[in-house]
Amino acid sequence: MSLHSLQTLAYDVERIRQDFPILAVQPHGKPLAYLDNAATTQKPRCVLDAMMHYYTHLHSNVHRGVHYLSEQATAAYEHARDIVASFIGARRREEIIFTRGTTESINLVAASWGGAFLRPGDEILLTVFEHHSNIVPWQLVAQRTGAQIRVVPLEPDGSFFVERALEAITEQTRIVALAHVSNVLGIVVPVAPIIEHAHRVGAVVLLDGAQAVAHMDVDVAELDCDFYAFSSHKVYGPTGIGVLYGKAELLERMPPYQGGGDMIRRVTFEHTTYNDLPYKFEAGTPPIAEAVGLGRALEYVDSIGRAAIAAWEEQLVASCIEQLVQIDGVQLLGPERGRAAVVAFSVEGVHPHDIATFLDREGIAIRAGHHCAQPLMDFFGIPASSRISVAMYSTEEEIERAATALRKCITVFRF
Ligand code: 7TS
């Protein structure tokens, strides 16, 4: 028996589901099938408890008081940083910066690194499947600096060829910013050769890990990426907090992103000196309870096991694709293999919003829209698509319910 089958045999999804109180909600009187996990994941009770415990026992502001609660809060906040560092394999805790989410992490790099180091004629390399949050910050900094945006195209069958990315990296490339996992195509991008080649020409690499960290092992030191961004709420943690990993030597050379309390060492009206990493990039009172919640979420993920979760989700995605491609008129976006927890599709003659609304009446939550990837929708020549995305608590039964409801929906709506 393969390691995968052994892992999924041992996987007790019903026990895991017990940890997520929200899964008991019954939309329209139907059992909830929450299949919109790429938008955000649900939270296990231990995360909610950790945040409640923080507010009922530890809360104060961090890094500024000598009193008991301030020390407790600071310890809890900084412990969360250690958990994050260890979760993504950062060598040093100062390389972990807490932000509001993936979006802010990317904006930070674009504004600070981009603002300081990009010059007219420099190239920023993106891919056609980037989320808007990995496009617009680069457009803003390109306008400011005169740098150019270049885009790695896709093959018509939706697959992404590493060769295309390698070809697009030139002597002018200063940064390659790309999704580790696409939130529409679901593909796990083979980033290693891209990172290696980018480094050869002296470019840095930012990976948008928003759709990766909940579904696979991520080791930033092994990847050797320069920046890695992700959001807590997509990995079972609270909203309002995210992470930017950056190599210390780069972060040291970058100017602050925002000014305010905590990020300074000494302020006069004439001159300000900045705090050490990571505080130089954490202006103002940070999301303390959220950091505690995120830390607990990552511990929870590791208590289930990332390999076990990946194996479970892989089976669900394979089954989902198998069922969808058999439905007349369903067009899968992206390749059938090499993907993480996301399955987007279009249906000939039926609008994605009608599909999502129809499924909602059955208690099934899926996403319909452009998924904040309008350039990719343009590439496929469609305004929107539907998307099923799974998490550690998803079940085969939920996938079957979605496929059955989709079949029913198509017969109702197509004429
Ligand atoms: N990058 C990718 C690849 C994403 O999927 C998302 C959110 C973001 C960045 C932005 O993350 P945020 O937490 O800062 O908002 N993606 C989605 C989605 O696919 N549906 O809703 C949000």
Q: Exposed, middle or buried, 157 (CB in 10 Å: 0-12/13-18/19+)?
A: exposed
User: What is the pLDDT at residue 9?
Assistant: 62
Tokens representing 146? 């005169």
User: What is the pLDDT at residue 184?
Assistant: 95
Catalytic residue (choose from 46, 225, 320, 372):
372
> What's the pTM value of the predicted model, to 2 decimals?
0.97
Q: How many Å apart are CA 144 and CA 151, to the nearest integer?
A: 19
Q: Which of 335, 339, 350, 340 is nearest to 386 (CA)?
A: 350
Alpha-carbon Rg for the chain in angstroms: 22
Q: How far is the CA of 410 from the centre of ligand 1 (A)?
A: 28
Q: How far is the CA of 41 from the centre of ligand 1 (A)?
A: 11
Q: Which helix (H) or strand (E) holds 144?
A: helix 136-145
Domains and CATH numbers, the chain: 3-40+305-409 (3.90.1150.10), 48-302 (3.40.640.10)
Measured in whole angstroms, the distance separating CA 257 from the mean position of its chain's CA atoms is: 21
Phi then psi for residue 203, to 5 deg, are -90, 160
- Closest ligand 1 atom, residue 234 Cα: 13
Ligand 1 pocket at CB < 6 A: 38-39, 101-103, 131, 133-134, 179, 183, 208, 210-211, 231, 367, 371-372
Query: What residue owns the CA closest to ligand 1's atom 5?
Result: 183
Q: How many Å apart are CA 42 and CA 21, to the nearest integer?
A: 9
Query: What residue owns the CA closest to ligand 1's atom 15?
Result: 103
225 assigned to active site = no
Q: Which helix (H) or strand (E) holds 243?
A: strand 242-246
367 CB-near residues (< 8 Å, 6+ apart): 36, 38, 39, 356, 386, 387, 389
User: What is the pLDDT at residue 43?
Assistant: 98
Query: What residue owns the CA closest to ligand 1's atom 6?
Result: 210
Q: How far is the CA of 152 from the centre of ligand 1 (A)?
A: 20
Mean pLDDT for each consecutive 10-residue tract of the chain (415 residues)?
59 98 98 98 98 98 92 98 98 98 98 98 97 98 98 79 93 98 94 98 98 98 98 98 98 98 95 97 98 99 98 98 96 90 96 97 97 93 95 98 98 84
Q: Which residue has the tokens 């394999």?
A: 89
Question: Do residues 233 and 40 lie in contact, with contact meaning Cβ atoms separated by under 8 Å?
Answer: yes
Q: How many Å apart are CA 208 and CA 181, to the nearest integer?
A: 8
Q: How many Å apart are CA 281 and CA 410, to the nearest integer?
A: 50
- Strand pairing report for 330-332 and 342-347: antiparallel
- How many residues are there in the chain? 415
Query: What residue owns the CA closest to ligand 1's atom 22?
Result: 39
User: What is the pLDDT at residue 218?
Assistant: 98
Question: Do residues 212 and 341 lie in contact, with contact meaning Cβ atoms separated by under 8 Å?
Answer: no
- Closest ligand 1 atom, residue 389 Cα: 19
Q: How many Å apart are CA 120 and CA 254, to the nearest integer?
A: 19
Supply the angle between the helices 352-361 and 396-413 in degrees, to the nearest 10.
Answer: 120
Query: What residue owns the CA closest to ligand 1's atom 11?
Result: 102
Measured in whole angstroms, the distance separating CA 82 from the mean position of its chain's CA atoms is: 20
